Chain A
Amino acid sequence: MNESETTLMEPGAMSSSALKGAEKEQNDMIKPSHARERRRRVFQRSAFGLFRIAAAVNGTALAIIIYFLVARGWRAINWTFLTQPPIDSMTKGGILPCIIGTLCLSMGAILVALPIGVASAIYLNEYARPGRVLRVIRLGINNLAGVPSIVFGLFGLALFVVLLGFGVSILSGALTLGAMTLPVIIGASEEALRAVPDTYREASLGLGATKWQTIYRVVLPAALPGILTGAILGIGRAAGETAPIMFTAAVFYSPSLPSSIFDEIMALPYHIYVLATAGTEIEATRHLQYGTALVLIVLVLGLNLVAIVYRARLRRRLG
């Protein structure tokens, strides 16, 4: 139907009678007709139906994943599992070093990425003049977000581990994960800053505040909920990554907990990877693998929950 219309509308072919025809069609469209009403209702219902299904797919996927993890991993979860290091070539015992490791790496990554990311976003959104340079920087950031995580792993290996001599350590891993999370945090922060109405900035400047005072006292507090949510979501993702820490921080097995940021460390995602591919008893440790995955996902979902609750609380306080 669209095609026949476009042929009708070819340049020059629009005679006055064609115009009248179009006008008439318009009038018909405005007039209520039962068939058309019904068509619209049916269309609306099926569109809503489709959207509902799309939304349901998301929820179902999450539910299925969690169901599998719980079904296969719950037997592994007990007090020992959560509070002891692995023993007997990692076929028994717990995953405490991995939990500690992942927490350290996540915290480290956020300590690295949050200040740099927020500062970049402030520069991009509040200071930089729109133009070519800004567009190029944005393009760079967007591309950074699309870089595969293994590439970040190699980058971290080359820069932090080797060149800067941090070795395989919490520090190298946190820096690498931080670099990987940076685009997410910049994106979320920029969006949050953009959402702060200009009228706030004008009101502040109009009272004789400097630009920095305006940003620090008005814009940042208003953007904070969005920034922190973005940061925590980014970290949640980073916490589950294996590739970036494989060469930079994670170690196959370590009997003791780390004592400094220059120590190497065990981590949940890498532990799963090791048990499932390189362990001595791959089949016999299935329940441990699922148990570890369950702990990891609970940790990540917990982080997200914290983000959501925190945002809601901030919003209430500001709103």
Chain B
Amino acid sequence: MKTTDLDFYYGDFPALEGVSLDFYINRVTALIGPSGCGKSTLLRCLNRMNDLIPYSRAEGKVLLDGQDIYDPNVDVVGLRRRIGMVFQKPNPFPKTVFENVAFGLRVNGISKKTYLANRVEESLNLAALWDEVSDRLDDSALGLSGGQQQRLCIARALAVEPEVLLMDEPCSALDPIATQKIEELIHQLKSSYTIIIVTHNMQQAARVSDITGFFYLGKLIEVDDTDTIFTRPKLQQTEDYITGRFG
């Protein structure tokens, strides 16, 4: 998956300018940068979630398997199935834990009970949540703690087996143990997914990602192997941000 010369506007406000970035399969790409620099906006461009925002518009190309996802002929629903998303704030449905995870399968026409049950358990296990919720699958998901809700959202996204996984600060509401579980999960998923993760936590970016892109004011300032970015960044600005001298 890649973007070329992607601009994005909220009304007249340019939230992204000329972003060209490649995302590789079996690699984790981390997006870092100060608050408001457009990381979430970029993620939401990648599955066309920004279509929902009136008076917004995207220019440039976003390619998935060589096809421009902004092409008018593209089936947006199918596209979003292929590109899973975990949002910045946990947003489980006001349904049971089970129905939350099963949702994506159900809307894709799967209703076989045993299959659903298996997929739900598998996904919850992947998201390191099964042990905590296995006996409350029929309780409302809104009764879970914030961190559990976030892992539920991850399980929900995994259940439909997307090809690309977009994660917007998936650990911002998690305690260190849950965070570690999620990071292990990311490592594990890497072998079959393209993963793009936004994080404010530099250590996390360094730990989980293979490639890191640094954004500032809507522009991609620098992108390179994570090792390089964190040890020998080419630009002073990147180094200042990573070392905490501004942000």
Question: Interface residues of B toward A: which range?
Answer: 20 to 34
Assembly CA distance A203 to B49 (angstroms): 10
Report yes or no: A207 in contact with B103, Cβ–Cβ below 8 A: yes
Residues 94 to 126 of chain B near chain A (Cβ within 8 Å): 94-95, 103-104, 106-108
* A218 cross-chain contacts in B, Cβ below 8 A: 93
Question: Do A204 and B94 form a contact, CB below 8 Å, given A130-B54, A209-B107, A217-B107?
Answer: no
* A200 cross-chain contacts in B, Cβ below 8 A: 91, 93-94
Residue A59 interfacial (CB < 8 Å): no
Assembly CA distance A108 to B16 (angstroms): 55
Question: Do A206 and B52 form a contact, CB below 8 Å, given A197-B91, A222-B94?
Answer: no
* A206 cross-chain contacts in B, Cβ below 8 A: 47, 49, 80, 84-85, 87, 157
Report yes or no: A213 in contact with B107, Cβ–Cβ below 8 A: yes
Report yes or no: B89 in contact with A205, Cβ–Cβ below 8 A: no
Q: Chain A nearest CB: distance from B125 CB in Å?
A: 19
Residue B140 interfacial (CB < 8 Å): yes
Assembly CA distance A222 to B142 (angstroms): 13
Residue A129 interfacial (CB < 8 Å): yes
Question: Do A208 and B49 form a contact, CB below 8 Å, given A203-B87, A218-B93, A318-B140?
Answer: no
Q: How many residues of A contact B (CB 8 A)?
A: 24
Report yes or no: B156 in contact with A207, Cβ–Cβ below 8 A: yes
**For residue A199, which residue of chain B has the nearest CB?**
B91
Q: Is the interface of A mostly helix, strand, loop or mixed?
A: helix
Selected from B80, B87, B140, B142, the residue in CB contact (under 8 A) with A208 is: B80
Assembly CA distance A210 to B77 (angstroms): 6
Instruction: Mark B31-65 against chain A: 1 for CB-CB distance below 8 A, else 0.
Output: 00000000000000001010010100000000000
Assembly CA distance A217 to B84 (angstroms): 19
**For residue B80, which residue of chain A has the nearest CB?**
A208
Residues 214 to 270 of chain A near chain B (Cβ within 8 Å): 217-218, 221-222
* B49 cross-chain contacts in A, Cβ below 8 A: 202, 205-206
Most A Cβ at <10 Å: residue of B78, B95, B103, B108: B103
Question: Do A198 and B52 form a contact, CB below 8 Å, given A204-B103, A217-B107?
Answer: yes
Question: Do A210 and B94 form a contact, CB below 8 Å, given A202-B52, A203-B87?
Answer: no
Q: Chain B nearest CB: distance from A100 CB in Å?
A: 39
Residue A201 interfacial (CB < 8 Å): yes
Most B Cβ at <10 Å: residue of A129, A206, A213, A221: A206
* B54 cross-chain contacts in A, Cβ below 8 A: 129-130
Report yes or no: A207 in contact with B160, Cβ–Cβ below 8 A: yes
* A205 cross-chain contacts in B, Cβ below 8 A: 49, 52, 77, 80
Q: Chain A nearest CB: distance from B105 CB in Å?
A: 9
Report yes or no: A217 in contact with B103, Cβ–Cβ below 8 A: yes
Q: Chain B nearest CB: distance from A319 CB in Å?
A: 6
Residue B197 interfacial (CB < 8 Å): no
Assembly CA distance A319 to B108 (angstroms): 26
Selected from B47, B94, B160, the residue in CB contact (under 8 A) with A318 is: B94
Question: Do A202 and B91 form a contact, CB below 8 Å, given A130-B54, A207-B81, A319-B142?
Answer: yes
Instruction: Mark A180-198 against chain B: 1 for CB-CB distance below 8 A, else 0.
Output: 0000000000000000011
* B108 cross-chain contacts in A, Cβ below 8 A: 208
* B156 cross-chain contacts in A, Cβ below 8 A: 203, 207
* A222 cross-chain contacts in B, Cβ below 8 A: 93-94
* A197 cross-chain contacts in B, Cβ below 8 A: 91
Using A200-B93, A202-B49, A206-B84 as known contacts, list a sample of 8 further A-B pairs with CB atoms less than 8 Å apart, ordered by residue number in A: A201-B52, A203-B87, A203-B93, A206-B47, A208-B82, A213-B107, A222-B93, A318-B95
Interface positions of A (Cβ within 8 A of B):
129-130, 197-210, 213, 217-218, 221-222, 317-319
